Amino acid sequence: MVAARIAGILPPWQDAGMPATEFPPDVASLLGRLRDRLAAREDVVGVYVYGSLVTGDYSPAASDIDVVVLVQREPGQVTTRELTELHTALAATGGPAGQLHCLYVAADSASDPERLCTYWFGDRMTQWQMKLLTQAELASAGVALYGPWPPPGIEPVPVADIQAAVHAEVTGYWRRISRMRRCWLQDSWVDHGLVVLPRAEAVLTTGDLITKSEAIGRLAGFGVPGSLAQEIRRRRDGLPVTVSKPRRLFRAVRARRVMQNGVARLSRLGPSASPAG
């Protein structure tokens, strides 16, 4: 069982002897305000944090603050408007509030990865899904800010199901992205796309969910030059990186080629397969 002690905001129902997760003070303050406002709502079942903030891989420069809120029923127009106002007020406080991603999931359909849910995405309300990987991360290494643990309706996801979902995403979404050209001129696509390759390989070969920092350390296995891997790591660490226009063009071609080769390699991997090369 996993729970959280967040810089002095320990929920009254939590056993202080349980494993604790320390969050940066500014993030802890933000999550405390979010928790208090959501806990005051009768329709909220629980508020949960997952992802890099919990695994110890959080980067103030690059990481999202990932939250799942279980609610009694899918938010309607009135509730969505209220939640939008709540998040807009939090976003106005600045700091890490712009990194907050908050998915509102009806508890009775929490295990449905195809269902669109109300989703606060940094600065606006939209919709997204409670994907299998999100369920797996939440079940295996989530933290309860408010509400029961384990989260109602969230069960451990079989490794075979996670592998199938990752394989489908690699051979579908990422294959399409690898065929595009303009996106690879952008730092964000280079950083995010290439890091996907080692993370997907870990899931497909051993069933492990590795962090982004671990994945950066494995980029060489996909033919990523050390200089580019270091560039990606520096941006993740919040350090300045200058890329000239000629280098950006050269980098885009190389990154796209690495992505295409990586997708082809991963597409051949089945559950519990061994890494190539």
Q: Which of 89, 120, 146 is the last residue of a domain?
A: 146
Output Rg (C-alpha) for the chain, integer angstroms: 19
Half-sphere exposure of 141 (CA within 13 A, CB side): 16
* H helix runs in 21-124, sequence order: 25-39, 52-55, 77-91
- Domain identity same for 32 and 92: yes
- Domain identity same for 134 and 163: no
- Domain identity same for 128 and 216: no
What's the order of all strands across the beta sheet hosting 44-50?
Answer: 125-129, 116-121, 100-106, 65-71, 44-50, 143-146
Computed over every residue of the chain, the mean pLDDT equals 90
Give every residue of the chain whose pLDDT is below 50, as ranges: 1-19, 274-277
Residue 140 is predicted with a pLDDT of: 87
- Domain identity same for 141 and 163: no
- Domain identity same for 35 and 137: yes
- Domain identity same for 252 and 164: yes
Residue 234 is predicted with a pLDDT of: 98
In a domain, 182, yes or no: yes
In a domain, 3, yes or no: no
Question: What tokens appear for 191 in the block?
Answer: 């950083």
Kindly tell me the burial class for residue 80, based on how many C-beta atoms sit within 10 Å of its own C-beta (0-12, 13-18, 19 or more).
Answer: middle
Q: Hunting for tokens 């451990």 — which residue is that?
A: 156
pLDDT tens for each residue of 89-116: 999 999 999 999 999 999 999 999 999 9
Name every residue whose Cβ is closer than 8 Å to that of residue 25 and which is 6 or more positions away in sequence.
Answer: 7
In a domain, 137, yes or no: yes
- Domain identity same for 33 and 141: yes
Question: What tokens appear for 255 in the block?
Answer: 């990154």
Kindly tell me the burial class for residue 207, based on how many C-beta atoms sit within 10 Å of its own C-beta (0-12, 13-18, 19 or more).
Answer: middle
Residue 156 is predicted with a pLDDT of: 87
The two beta strands, 125-129 and 44-50, are: unpaired
CATH of the domain at 38: 3.30.460
Q: Which of 123, 146, 169 is the last residue of a domain?
A: 146
- Domain identity same for 80 and 130: yes
Helix axes 226-236, 245-267, angle to 10 degrees: 100
- Domain identity same for 92 and 186: no
Q: How many domains does the chain have?
A: 2
- Domain identity same for 59 and 34: yes
Measure the CA–CA gap between 110 and 49, rounded to whole angstroms. 15
Residue 246 is predicted with a pLDDT of: 97
Name every residue whose Cβ is closer than 8 Å to that of residue 146 and which is 6 or more positions away in sequence.
Answer: 11, 35, 38, 39, 44, 46, 47
Measure the CA–CA gap between 10 and 146, rounded to whole angstroms. 10
Owning domain of residue 178: 159-267
- Domain identity same for 80 and 187: no
- Domain identity same for 121 and 47: yes
Chain Cα centroid distance, residue 31: 16
Residue 277 is predicted with a pLDDT of: 44
Q: Which residues pair with 119 in a beta bridge?
A: 103, 126
Other beta carbons within 10 angstroms of residue 170's beta carbon come to 24
In a domain, 88, yes or no: yes
